[in-house]
Amino acid sequence: QALASQCRVATPSDTVVHSECAFTFFSPFSNDRGIVVNLNTFAGTIPELAAPNGKEIYLRIVKDRKEKETTSDAPTKLAIGVEGGFDDDKYEVVTKHSVVVLDASGNVVAELPYDESTKATFPEQVTRSVESII
């Protein structure tokens, strides 16, 4: 609750870096810890480089590719994405979000999953900030 006052809501003029780390080439697909996005500065990074000043609140984004079950036969047309052609969508992307509090040394103090069923448990300012990033 005390950290909720640090959260800002992203506006169209804000730059939100949530597709990869601002310092490395890590992305939400890179490992099982993904990246964290500061809910005040909107800068995405890996937890080791977050370097918070005291306790700060972040949104963790983790993405994973799962191969879809394919029931289609061999292609009969030289085309992509049409019936009888090659299937260009053979992976499903699963995205997980969680709200993370990191201390000054970068250790996780608290981590709570964030989805449709849990977002009502967060303070309104945190929910609005997270929704503006997602």
Please give the full DSSP string across the chain, using - where no structure is assigned. -GGGGG-----TTS----SS-SSSS--TTSSTT-EEEETTT--EE-GGG---SSSEEEEEEEEEEEEPP----S--SS-BSSTTSB-S--EEEEEEEEEEEE-TTS-EEEEEEESTTTGGGS-HHHHHHHHHH-
Per-residue pLDDT at 103: 83
Per-residue pLDDT at 108: 86
- Whether the predicted pLDDT of 114 surpasses 90: yes
Q: What is the pTM of this model?
A: 0.80
> Taking all residues of the chain, what is their mean pLDDT, rounded to a whole number?
84
Region 22-45 average pLDDT: 88
- Whether the predicted pLDDT of 23 surpasses 90: no
- Whether the predicted pLDDT of 80 surpasses 80: no
Per-residue pLDDT at 72: 61
Backbone Cα Rg of the chain: 18
- Whether the predicted pLDDT of 62 surpasses 80: yes
Answer whether 10's CB lies under 8 Å from 132's CB. yes
